[in-house]
Amino acid sequence: MREAPRVLIVDDMPENLEVMTGVLEPEGYRIETASDGQEAVDAALRDPPDLILMDVSMPRLTGIEACRILKSDPRTHFTPIVLVTALVARRDRIAGIAAGCDDFLTKPVDFEQLLARSRTLLRAKALVDELEVAENVLVSLATALDAKDQYTQGHSERVAAYAEALGGERGLSPEERRNLRRAGLLHDIGKIGIPMAYLNKPGPLTTAEYDVVKQHPAIGWEICKPLRTFAPLLHLIRGHHERVDGRGYPDGLAGEAVPLALRCLTTADVYDALTSDRAYRKAMTRDRALQVMRQEAGAGMWDVRLIDSFAEMVARSG
């Protein structure tokens, strides 16, 4: 049974905390309080609530400053925040929106509006939580799929870490790097639809067998497509075997049609595959793998700039 939602009320005036608690507590919500913006940030990051109702004018950190910090942290990015303010100037509202707040309440607070907006935002947060659970289930499934094969155990986690780090090297935004990490964890989820005999075959695959194996990016795309939170990942999951020379699969993308983030993911995937044992060959050393990747980049398969960046990155890591 799902626990009652937790609401964090933040105000430097004890009487305001008491009044809002008195309105929301009878609804069955679990109420927590904080007396300034810094205390609210500390409490929310320690144990993220389901909803934050926060005054704007407070000591140490204002509500807008606290909102900006919480919305920029992945732990509380999706936690709805309502700013409660007596400020009605347009610039103040714009500042709150820029900080990422989800709604405003104007003082003196109308209790019916408080209840209605709290219910709406808590329903939305419950939906986000359900989607997050679904994502975690798929990630666990992908990890279990890796673990079934001694040759791929840990592969997805390593690809995720390499891809995220390479994205940082190439100047991708924090959100793009986060999506690379998520896609790295899930990129091979489609192999759940491929016979294990083909994946573990110690010798070369026949043309027919290889055609089946090549379906796994599209299968992964189909598995993840129903989840709306996966929308930014779908092209990465589907495209992780594309090549800049247009001879990859499943869509034969070429040149600039293979975006930078996708090139980061394919570079990470190729490197980890080459430096890992496989049923049909032993792992290559780091230097040999990078040499092979540079040769293939010279033939047009990969982006040589990313290979160079990746080589510098792994050299620094020792």
pLDDT at 99 (0 to 100): 87
Q: Tokens for 57?
A: 């004018």
Name the one residue in this structure whose structure tokens are 């620094």: 316
Helices (H) and strands (E) in the chain, counts: 14, 5
pLDDT at 148 (0 to 100): 64
* Number of domains the chain contains: 2
The total of other beta-carbon atoms located within 10 Å of residue 134's CB is: 15
What is the mean pLDDT for each group of 10 consecutive residues in the chain (318 residues)? 85 92 93 93 94 90 92 88 78 82 86 88 81 72 69 84 96 93 92 86 89 94 85 95 96 95 97 86 91 94 94 87
Question: Helix 111-147 and helix 155-169: axis angle, to 10°?
Answer: 120
What is the rounded CA–CA span in Å between residue 2 and residue 118?
Answer: 17
Q: Kindly provide the b/e burial profile for residues 240-262, where b requires at least 16 CB atoms within 10 angstroms of the residue's own CB.
A: bbbbbbeebbbbebeeeebebbb
Task: Please list the residues that pair with 52 across neighbouring strands.
Answer: 8, 81
**What are the residues whose beta carbons fall under 8 Å from the beta carbon of 294, sequence distance 6 or more?**
304, 307, 311
Domain shared by 153 and 273, yes or no: yes
CATH number at residue 219: 1.10.3210.10
**Has residue 89 been placed in a domain?**
yes
222 in Cβ contact with 230 (< 8 Å): no
pLDDT at 86 (0 to 100): 77
**Has residue 241 been placed in a domain?**
yes
Of 79, 97, 128, which residue is a domain's last? 128
**Has residue 141 been placed in a domain?**
no
Angle (CA) 265-267-271 rounded to 5° is 120
Domain shared by 152 and 123, yes or no: no
Bridge-based pairing of strands 6-10 and 51-55 is parallel
Bridge-based pairing of strands 81-85 and 30-34 is unpaired
Domain shared by 257 and 116, yes or no: no
Domain shared by 152 and 298, yes or no: yes
Domain shared by 155 and 118, yes or no: no
- CA contacts within 13 A on the Cβ side of 221: 17
**Has residue 244 been placed in a domain?**
yes
Domain shared by 174 and 304, yes or no: yes
**Has residue 136 been placed in a domain?**
no
pLDDT at 149 (0 to 100): 65
CATH number at residue 117: 3.40.50.2300
Note the pTM of the prediction, 2 decimals.
0.65
250 in Cβ contact with 238 (< 8 Å): yes
Domain shared by 219 and 72, yes or no: no
What is the rounded CA–CA span in Å between residue 24 and residue 296?
Answer: 63
Domain residues for 218? 148-317
Domain shared by 180 and 293, yes or no: yes
